[in-house]
RNA sequence: GGGGAAUUAGCUCAGUUGGCUAGAGCGCUUGCAUGGCAUGCAAGAGGUCACCGGUUCGACUCCGGUAUUCUCCA
């Protein structure tokens, strides 16, 4: 059975049991400060379990893209070493939201594994929660009894709280769980050691494949448990592992989930994968694993960057490069070549990759190149370090850390290169420096989040599409403290405040607590909660509140948001439909739009795009907003964003059904004419394959145009209103360059003349050709020029020239090289001993040429005589 | 968000305690050599040393700020 059949069978099986199959949520998480990536199948259903939202279907099944590389589940450095850790993996799951419970979940999981997938029953074991006295929890007898119907009792094992009781967090829904384990050992081994003794014992061949969580309790703040009114089922089965078991492979990497990629790497590099523990084979596994994580996160709109989620992607990518660079001896970009293979493999499951295959490839290629450059310069740097420390034959921890911290050169490579050169590296010192940096960062981002004070247990409704003010109540609030600044977060039962989302900034405004006005500085989303930020709390919070937004600011923002839609459509019309939104910022002043496109947008294209947008504004198209089932919206040709999670009912913003139809939760104007005017401010690149356009609309656009015109007017006036302005400026610039050149020539000429007039004044003193003079020049550099001019004319010379330059004394001294050598004359010495004191200044330079400067301009003659005296 | 670094010719980079007439390689222009090419030889053009301010007699160099980029950590 192929991997895709296994996946299909899972989904079809649960479909036949009345489940609605939903697509995977994006792997990159938005609007949740506690999570960067989806790390479990249940993430997208969290709000259902918490009761913040009601599900549209009570039975759901899916395969979810997950990534575990940060936070609690950090497996990154394990991946590739063994045969079963992954960064990105698929989690198959079936859910019941207050519908079926233990009996069905248990029966179906058994049916699927043994009848559909035909796993031998005598290799399966199940575990059931044994109870916990301290928590006052009973054994999960129900689950035990339901399992008894399918499995002999000696295969039902009891597990402790750690393995068999699942909790979402410190508080919230939780419950016992029941795992299914499979024993993959060969028969001879199974005869020797009973499989039951190896369950949950970290044996790589006796592994858990499916966890069924039965949510039946709610954990309260005081740590006590209360029964949930609606009981849920939450299951998760690691897809890669399941495939391995069904296909009877020794390792996940031997299945057809990975073999395509591995085969292609073999083809590209000429190396062979032999499934061993060698560094080379670890590399194959690292590459096959990491390319999936990299591709799917980029396809879900997360570009590699130096912060947050983007930094995690960058690290995964760099780990992959590090491996092929060192162990496959492959010194050029490799990962990007694998993208099409993967895109094709997942075309029907996760089509977002195939749809953006060129874009993802380009991003990865640039990123690889970048890091290969970093490695290159790091290697040069480490070679210098090795040369400089040949005496001690060691690299200290601080230096190794600096290589990583400042130049991005990985420690393991430093270690490797050092060892190759017979050097040692102070690993302890390195670790210490690393710890110091981590501590510093943690301290700087310390966020003290208080507990919510709950006044009223109700959801929150957004009424801001139609109202700017409303009567409401505070349902909960808390205090947060970041960087020593205290702030409060308030949640209202209904609110006109738009929370930052889809690029549109959050509203500001005021909350009027029966006379006491508190201003709202920002509004943000936390999952589906709308959180209002304030600097203080009212004296009495438990009153009626009049919530009013800053209408003016919202209006300006709304204009820019609608303009963004017009722009997006125009971009696709002019540049092509490969243009996809990669980021958007909409605030009262301007709009910023990032999109995938591979070349600079030319001035002609920009003009064309701007024309289209303005044409649509003048056409005064009415903006139609509809809430529709997602399928219907898709039929209208609505543009959805990659990496955005949509519910079953979506909000669609239409500006002429033939022009712009977009999924959007933002605020919009009534008709496009309200925008008045649209103007570009700038166009540029932000990352590989991503361009950024900034623009203004409405009154801001007009102000911008007026400002430009005003500047133009002033320039014209300054140039005495020429007929052809551009030509006049060009001429002006060319003239200036010519004049500067001429001036330089004249200066040279002047110095030459000065030099030739000074030449006859040369005096012979003790065999030395001495010229000393106070001259009139206008820069210190001219004195220098004078010396260099004269040195070609004489031998055995000593020159001293002094000048008053802008009220300051400047002196230059030049001595022929042979005099320096033979007579021990040194220019800086003369300056320090004879000159700087006189002119109240300092000076220095080379032995044969030095310069000095000082305050005293009327002692210049004395400078000359003083030098002359020592010859 | 916190830390470390970088910014010098079209490109890749040197520039050692403040004073070297700011350099190298590649590229470019011109000339010469070779039957042609690869190439070799010679000459030349090209720099507001990112920007702004400060210290100093004097700043590519030291200090502060801004911008951009790289990099590590969270």
Q: Where are the alpha helices (DSSP H) in A408-461?
A: 411-420, 427-444
> What average pLDDT does this structure show over A695-723?
87
Name the most confidently modeled range: A131-145, A824-838, A849-863. A131-145
Nucleotide nearest residue A407, measured CA to C1': B71
CA–C1' distance A453–B15 (Å)? Answer: 63
Q: In b/e form, how buried is each residue of A255-290, taking b as 16+ CB within 10 angstroms?
A: bebbebbbebbeeebebebeeeeeebbbbbbbbbbb
**3-state SS, residue A359:** helix
Instruction: Name the residue closest to the C1' of B12 by its CA.
Output: A377
CA–C1' distance A401–B21 (Å)? Answer: 41
The model's pLDDT over A714-771, given as tens digits with 9 standing for 90+, comes to: 888 888 888 888 777 777 766 776 777 777 777 778 888 888 898 898 899 988 899 9
Nucleotide nearest residue A780, measured CA to C1': B58
pLDDT grade for A74, boundaries at 50, 70 and 90:
low
Q: Under a CB-based contact definition with an 8 Å cutoff, are residues A24 and A93 in contact?
A: no
Q: Is the pLDDT of residue A268 over 60?
A: yes
CA–C1' distance A373–B13 (Å)? Answer: 14
Structure tokens at A640: 């959805």
pLDDT: is A336 or A597 the higher one?
A: A336
CA–C1' distance A839–B23 (Å)? Answer: 34
Q: Cα(A622)–Cα(A655) distance, rounded to whole angstroms?
A: 7
List the beta strands (DSSP E) in A343-435: 394-395, 424-425
pLDDT grade for A640, boundaries at 50, 70 and 90:
confident
Nucleotide nearest residue A483, measured CA to C1': B1
CA–C1' distance A39–B9 (Å)? Answer: 51
| Interface confidence (ipTM) of the complex | 0.81
CA–C1' distance A426–B16 (Å)? Answer: 27
Nucleotide nearest residue A367, measured CA to C1': B70
| Lowest model confidence (mean pLDDT) among A14-23, A336-345, A553-562, A800-809 | A800-809
Instruction: Name the residue closest to the C1' of B58 by its CA.
Output: A853
CA–C1' distance A841–B18 (Å)? Answer: 15
pLDDT grade for A70, boundaries at 50, 70 and 90:
low
Q: Is the pLDDT of residue A564 over 90?
A: yes
How many CA atoms lie less than 13 Å away from A538 in the CB half-sphere? Answer: 21
CA–C1' distance A757–B23 (Å)? Answer: 33
Nearest to A638 by CA among A610, A658, A611: A658
| Lowest model confidence (mean pLDDT) among A143-152, A466-475, A590-599 | A590-599
Q: Under a CB-based contact definition with an 8 Å cutoff, are residues A317 and A335 in contact?
A: yes
Query: If one looks up domain A448-549 in CATH, what number appears?
Result: 2.40.30.130
Nucleotide nearest residue A402, measured CA to C1': B4
Would you report the helix, strand and coil content of chain A in percent, each value rounded to 5? 45, 25, 30
Residue A578 among known ligand-binding residues: no
Residue with tokens 């330059």: A805
Nucleotide nearest residue A828, measured CA to C1': B19
Q: Under a CB-based contact definition with an 8 Å cutoff, are residues A122 and A111 in contact?
A: no
Nucleotide nearest residue A438, measured CA to C1': B73
**3-state SS, residue A257:** coil
Strand B nucleotides, any atom under 7 Å to a protein CB: 1-5, 13, 18-21, 56-58, 70-74
Topology, domain A558-712: 3.30.980
Nucleotide nearest residue A792, measured CA to C1': B21
Q: Cα(A531)–Cα(A517) distance, rounded to whole angstroms?
A: 18
**What's residue A838's pLDDT?**
85
Query: If one looks up domain A3-257 in CATH, what number appears?
Result: 3.30.930.10
What is the second-level CATH architecture of the domain A744-870? Answer: Roll (3.10)
Residue A668 among known ligand-binding residues: yes
Residue A787 among known ligand-binding residues: no
CA–C1' distance A412–B73 (Å)? Answer: 17
Percent of the residues in chain A that have a pLDDT greater than 90, as a whole number: 48
CA–C1' distance A374–B14 (Å)? Answer: 19
- Residues contacting residue A594 through CB under 8 Å, at least 6 positions apart: A581, A582, A583, A584, A686, A690, A691, A692
Instruction: Name the residue closest to the C1' of B19 by its CA.
Output: A845
Q: Cα(A864)–Cα(A770) distance, rounded to whole angstroms?
A: 10
Nearest to A832 by CA among A857, A850, A819, A859: A850
pLDDT grade for A140, boundaries at 50, 70 and 90:
very high
CA–C1' distance A737–B47 (Å)? Answer: 15
> What average pLDDT does this structure show over A361-379?
86
Model confidence pTM above 0.80: yes
> What average pLDDT does this structure show over A1-15?
96
Q: Under a CB-based contact definition with an 8 Å cutoff, are residues A51 and A73 in contact?
A: no
- Mean pLDDT, all residues of chain A: 89
Residue A177 among known ligand-binding residues: no
Please report, for chain A, the start and end positions of each structural domain, with discontinuous segments joined by +: 3-257, 258-369, 448-549, 558-712, 744-870
């Amino acid at each position: 059975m192929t991997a895709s059949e296994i996946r299909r069978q899972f989904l079809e099986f649960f479909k036949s049991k009345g489940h609605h199959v939903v697509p995977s949520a994006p792997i990159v998480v938005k609007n949740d400060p506690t999570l960067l990536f989806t790390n479990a199948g249940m993430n997208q259903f969290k709000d259902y379990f918490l009761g913040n939202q009601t599900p549209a279907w009570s039975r759901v099944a899916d395969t979810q893209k997950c990534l575990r590389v940060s936070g609690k589940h950090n497996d990154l450095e394990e991946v590739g070493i063994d045969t079963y850790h992954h960064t990105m993996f698929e989690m198959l799951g079936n859910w019941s939201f207050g519908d079926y419970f233990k009996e069905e979940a248990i029966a179906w999981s058994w049916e699927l594994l043994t009848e559909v997938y035909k796993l031998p029953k005598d290799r399966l074991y199940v575990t059931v929660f044994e109870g916990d006295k301290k928590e006052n929890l009973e054994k999960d007898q129900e689950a035990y009894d339901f399992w008894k119907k399918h499995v002999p009792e000696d295969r039902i094992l009891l597990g402790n709280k750690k393995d068999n009781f699942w909790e979402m967090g410190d508080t919230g829904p939780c419950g016992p769980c029941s795992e299914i384990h499979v024993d993959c050992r060969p028969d001879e081994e199974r005869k020797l050691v009973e499989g039951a003794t190896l369950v949950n014992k970290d044996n790589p061949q006796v592994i858990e494949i499916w966890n069924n969580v039965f949510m039946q309790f709610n954990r309260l703040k005081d740590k006590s448990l209360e029964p949930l009114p609606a009981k849920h089922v939450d299951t998760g089965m690691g897809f890669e592992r399941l495939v391995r078991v069904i296909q009877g492979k020794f390792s996940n990497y031997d299945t057809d989930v990975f073999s395509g990629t591995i085969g292609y790497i073999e083809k590209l590099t000429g190396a062979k994968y032999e499934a061993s523990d060698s560094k080379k084979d670890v590399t194959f596994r690292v590459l096959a694993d990491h390319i999936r994580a990299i591709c799917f996160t980029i396809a879900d709109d997360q570009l590699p960057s130096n912060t947050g989620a983007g930094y995690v992607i960058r690290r995964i990518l760099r780990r992959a490069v590090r491996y092929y660079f060192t162990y496959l001896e492959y010194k050029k970009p490799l990962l990007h070549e694998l993208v099409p293979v993967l895109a094709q493999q997942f075309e029907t499951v996760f089509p977002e990759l195939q749809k953006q295959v060129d874009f993802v490839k380009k991003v990865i290629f640039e990123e690889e190149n970048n890091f290969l450059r970093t490695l290159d310069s790091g290697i040069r740097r480490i070679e210098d370090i090795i040369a400089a420390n040949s005496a001690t034959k060691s690299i200290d921890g601080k230096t190794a850390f600096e290589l990583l911290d400042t130049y991005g050169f990985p420690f393991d490579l430093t270690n490797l290169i050092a060892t190759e050169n017979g050097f040692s590296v102070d690993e302890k010192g390195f670790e210490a420096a690393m710890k110091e940096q981590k501590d510093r960062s943690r301290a700087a981002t310390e966020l003290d989040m208080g507990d919510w004070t709950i006044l009223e247990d109700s959801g929150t409704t957004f009424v801001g599409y139609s109202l700017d003010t409303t009567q409401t109540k505070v349902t909960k609030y808390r205090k947060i403290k970041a960087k020593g600044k205290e702030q409060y977060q308030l949640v209202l039962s209904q609110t006109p405040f738009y929370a930052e989302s889809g690029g549109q900034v959050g509203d500001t405004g005021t909350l009027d607590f029966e006379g006491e006005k508190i201003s709202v500085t920002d509004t943000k989303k936390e999952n589906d909660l709308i959180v209002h930020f304030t600097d203080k709390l009212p004296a009495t919070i438990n009153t009626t509140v009049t919530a009013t937004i800053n209408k003016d600011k919202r209006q300006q923002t709304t204009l820019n948001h609608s303009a963004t839609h017009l722009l997006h459509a125009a971009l696709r019309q002019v540049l092509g439909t490969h243009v996809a939104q990669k980021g958007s910022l909409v605030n009262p002043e301007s709009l910023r739009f990032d999109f995938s496109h591979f070349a600079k947008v030319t001035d002609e294209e920009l003009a064309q795009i701007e024309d289209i947008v303005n044409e649509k504004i003048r056409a005064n198209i009415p903006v139609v907003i509809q809430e529709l089932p997602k399928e219907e919206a898709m039929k209208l040709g609505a543009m959805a964003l990659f990496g955005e999670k949509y519910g079953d009912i979506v909000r669609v913003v239409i500006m002429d059904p033939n022009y712009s139809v977009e999924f959007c939760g933002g605020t919009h104007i009534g008709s496009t004419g309200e925008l008045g005017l649209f103007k570009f401010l700038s166009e540029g690149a932000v990352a590989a394959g991503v361009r950024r356009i900034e623009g203004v609309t409405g009154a801001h656009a007009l102000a911008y145009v007026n400002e430009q015109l005003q500047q133009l007017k002033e320039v014209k006036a300054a140039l005495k209103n020429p007929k052809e302005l551009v030509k006049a400026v060009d001429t002006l610039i060319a003239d200036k360059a010519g004049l500067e050149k001429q001036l330089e020539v004249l200066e040279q000429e002047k110095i030459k003349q000065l030099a030739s007039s000074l030449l006859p004044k040369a005096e012979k003193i003790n065999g030395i050709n001495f010229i000393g003079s106070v001259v009139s020049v206008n820069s210190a550099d001219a004195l220098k020029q004078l010396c260099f001019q004269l040195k070609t004319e004489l031998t055995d010379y000593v020159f001293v020239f002094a000048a008053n330059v802008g009220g300051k004394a400047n002196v230059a001294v030049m001595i022929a090289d042979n005099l320096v050598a033979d007579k021990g004359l040194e220019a800086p010495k003369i300056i320090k001993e004879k000159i700087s004191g006189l002119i109240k200044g300092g000076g220095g330079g080379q032995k044969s040429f030095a310069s000095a400067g000082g305050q005293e301009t009327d002692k210049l003659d004395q400078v000359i005589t003083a030098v002359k005296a020592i010859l």
